[in-house]
Amino acid sequence: QVSPEQVILSHSPLRLFGQFHQKCMLVAGQGPVEENALSLGFKHVVTMEALRKAYPLLDMVDQSRRPKELPPPTTGFPTIEGVILFGEPVRWETSLQLIIDVLLSNGNPGAELQDIPYPHLPVLACNMDLLWMAEAKMPRFGHGTFLLCLENIYKKVTGRELKYEALIGKPSTVTYRYAEYLIQQQAEKQGWKSPIRRLYAVGDNPMSDVYGANLYNNYLKSAHQNQVQAGVKRSLQAVSPQMEDHLQLRKDRNNSVESCESILVCTGVYRHNTDVPSKTKECMTVFHGHRDFCFDPSLVEASYIVQDVNDAVQLAFKKENWS
């Protein structure tokens, strides 16, 4: 049985963004976003629906939802201090409008500012997949598509780039660093004395699992060498500058992980019957990754290719001389 601490969801690393836990955060997405935010440590949460009800004049695209009479001025609503984007919302026009309103008004959508604030309020986004595969024959829009819309609307309106405090979820370095953080905690609980030097990341998708593992491997190398390689520099800039503090990195690199090996299994997206997966071929031509991640074909090349997860575990045991 897997305990909650062993399951890393795309938003799990938000537990460590303590500097935002006491701030009033607008949360967007669908499902129990308020409950999820509270479980991650956030104390003051505003949902999109609560914001819409507080400021009914903002949501004007759907004519059936426009107020029939002029509502009284909003009073007592808290100033929003940041935005968390958990996943794609249901009503994109409402979420896009209200998030832009919050950023342009510095968290007070009822106010009228003379100048557009920049840098804008901190934005934390989880799950960057542009598309995902469901029962339909063609891929469906993912949260990455919503982010693409938000970024382009913000730039069109302001002439400036939307900036993220952090991008979280594969292939983000933050997610793999959080996984290392949890592994280090487990090792301490088990009383392991020898430091963990190597991580093994197993997955079936070259464009997320392998890409992320290789990106993190580059990050480990650059951290160890005290320099950032050009191929990952822009991707790492998508991570909060305070990430080293959030994740409690030890200053003594002798006690830190040095590498992350990517192991590709053939029981999902990737199949042995083609040299390069069709999805990978497509993305090499048209990169489907997020704006803040540079694409390098070498990042989708796995360290090892095996049949399934069992073979991947056996390979790691062999590499570590445990078999």
Model confidence over 167-208: pLDDT tens digits? 999 999 999 999 999 999 999 999 998 889 999 999 988 888
Tell me how far apart the alpha carbons of residues 219 and 235 are, in angstroms, rounded to a whole number.
10
Which residues 6+ apart lie within 8 Å of 141 measured at CB?
88, 130, 131
Indicate the average pLDDT of the chain: 85
Encoded amino acid at 135, one letter = E
Domains of the chain: 4-63+79-167 (3.40.50.1000), 195-229+254-320 (no CATH)
In this prediction, residue 154 carries a pLDDT of 98
Percent helix, strand, coil in the chain, to 5, is 40, 10, 45
Highest mean pLDDT, choosing among 60-64, 80-84, 248-252 = 80-84
Over range 107-115, report the average pLDDT.
Answer: 88
Find tokens 């399951």 and name the residue: 7
**Would you give the end-to-end CA distance of the chain in angstroms?**
24
Highest mean pLDDT, choosing among 16-30, 70-84, 176-190, 196-210 = 16-30
Supply the angle between the helices 230-237 and 211-225 in degrees, to the nearest 10: 100
> Does the structure show a pLDDT above 50 at 232?
no
